[in-house]
Amino acid sequence: MEKINRMATTSTPVGPNSGADANPMLALLDSDYGLSMPSRGEIREGVVARVTPSEILVDVGAKSEGVIAGRELDSLDEATRKGLQMGQTLLVYVLDPEDRNGNIVLSLTRAREEQDWRDAETLLGNQEVYSGSVAGFNKGGLIVKLGNVRGFVPASQLGPSRRRRSEGDTPEQKWARMVGEAMQVKVIEVDRGRNRLILSERAAAKESREAQKDKLLAEIKTGDVRTGHVISLADFGAFVDIGGADGLVHLSELSWKHVTHPNEVLRVGQEVEVVVLNVDHDRKRIGLSLKRREDDPWTVIQKKYQIGQLVKGTITKLAKFGAFARVEGEDEIEGLIHVSELSEGHIEHPREVVAEGQALTLRVLKIEADKRRMGLSLKRVSSADYENVDWETVAAATPDLDEVA
């Protein structure tokens, strides 16, 4: 949202007796001396004339300077007070055009608050999107400040992504982790009398999301690592919001091990780190990967195991052409024992020799890391063809074996 222009001119006085028309002396001052007398509730642009520890005098173009003092001065934070300098222009709110001592009593905080309410009314009228951040929460939703005015975003007015993440039984569990997050909203209700400002992320979501998506697509590139939240799961993969656009993590990119459904590794609302695989600007689609944030286990397997080596394995499933076995210590790696490598004799089906869950000693026949395949054998475990390999393996594991022999 473009910043709303602050008022640089006097506002219209409120009340039937306010202004120069109700007072001939004020009219004379206005006409003869170019003075514009303030009215209660008016916001004026003034110039700081003097700063003391007890008061701040502000020239508001009236017969006398206005004063910010007492409790109003005490309510200003230290940074604001130190920042006020002679000659500085600022907006002030007229609390009293003339107190019993003849002073114009001004408020800086009320001016800011009043202008914030007017900004909110402007936003309500033009339905522009306001960019803020989550400043707090209560049991019903989140707090977003518009200037110094606290706006409330009810849970029903949150965007779909944030609603999915609002898990838990207490407000702290639902909302605390969202404090500080950026949020774009529209103003849907302003009631100054009840100090009520209602905002909606949902109303702003479509408009702001398109703008965010275009911005993200323009800057994102293949290989980028992004943090996002899982917004939905489908049979073919998971959709992840990476801060302005949804990307798809295909089922094959979820894990290096076999995954039947995304719910085996992810849940809606979960925060994840993903790698950008590809960006289709024409169709506005982003391909993501979860597994590529981890080392490819097959690159390790190729270095860790040698052809002919004996390994421990557990049969995981049977097929007509052979049996699959998970290598001990490698949760994500399965090798295939072809039906011809199960037994010296002819068999029709692997079930004649092995069963699911059975633990066996197997021999590594081949490793094809590029094709993500490992060939294993059961029948060659005791083969004399590998006697030298077995002896070298035992010797390497038992340095003193030669001396004993």
User: Is residue 58 within 8 Å of residue 67, measured between CB atoms?
Assistant: yes
3-state secondary structure of 225: strand
The residues that bridge with 359 in the sheet, in sequence order, are 314
List pLDDT tens digits, range 346-391. 999 999 999 999 999 999 999 988 888 899 999 999 887 777 766 6
The residues that bridge with 133 in the sheet, in sequence order, are 182
Q: What is the mean pLDDT of the chain?
A: 84
Q: How many CA atoms lie within 13 A of 45 on its CB side?
A: 8
Question: Rounded CA gap, 227 and 87, in Å?
Answer: 47
Instruction: Report whether pLDDT(18) > 60.
Output: no
Q: Which long-range contacts (CB under 8 A, 24 or more apart) does 321-326 make?
A: 322/350, 323/350, 323/354, 325/360, 325/362, 325/376
Position 69: which residue type? A
Question: What pLDDT score does 402 carry?
Answer: 52
User: Quick check: do 129-206 and 222-293 share a fold?
Assistant: yes
Question: What pLDDT score does 394 carry?
Answer: 59
The CATH number for 129-206, chosen from 2.60.120.620, 3.10.20.740, 1.10.390.10, 2.40.50.140, is: 2.40.50.140
Question: What pLDDT score does 399 carry?
Answer: 56
Q: What is the DSSP letter of 272?
A: E
Q: What is the DSSP letter of 176?
A: G
Nearest of 43, 37, 40, 44 to residue 20 by alpha carbon: 37
List pLDDT tens digits, range 47-106. 999 988 888 899 998 888 899 887 888 877 778 778 888 998 888 889 899 888 888 999
Q: Which two tokens stand for residue 202?
A: 């949902």
Nearest of 306, 313, 315 to residue 386 by alpha carbon: 306
How many separate helices (H) and strands (E) can be counted in the chain?
10, 20
User: Is residue 135 within 8 Å of residue 145, measured between CB atoms?
Assistant: yes
Architecture of the CATH domain 222-293:
Beta Barrel (2.40)
Phi, psi of 237 (to 5 degrees): 160, -165
List pLDDT tens digits, range 258-298. 788 999 999 988 999 999 999 998 888 999 999 998 878 88
| Residue positions counted in the chain | 405
Which CATH number describes the domain made up of 297-397?
2.40.50.140
Position 321: which residue type? F
Question: What pLDDT score does 395 carry?
Answer: 61
Better pLDDT: 16 or 203: 203
The CATH number for 20-114, chosen from 3.30.710.10, 2.40.50.140, 3.40.50.880, 2.50.20.10, is: 2.40.50.140
Q: How many CA atoms lie within 13 A of 128 on its CB side?
A: 13
Q: Which two tokens stand for residue 387?
A: 């006697």
User: Is residue 373 within 8 Å of residue 338, measured between CB atoms?
Assistant: no
Question: What pLDDT score does 333 carry?
Answer: 80
Listed by start position, the domains of the chain span: 20-114, 129-206, 222-293, 297-397
With bands split at pLDDT 50, 70 and 90, how would you rate the model's confidence at 3? Answer: very low
List pLDDT tens digits, range 289-340. 999 988 788 888 888 888 998 999 999 999 999 999 999 888 778 899 999 9
Question: Rounded CA gap, 338 and 315, in Å?
Answer: 12
Instruction: Report whether pLDDT(215) > 90.
Output: no
Q: What is the pLDDT averaged over residues 30-48? A: 75
According to DSSP, the β-strands at 66-69 and 104-107 are parallel
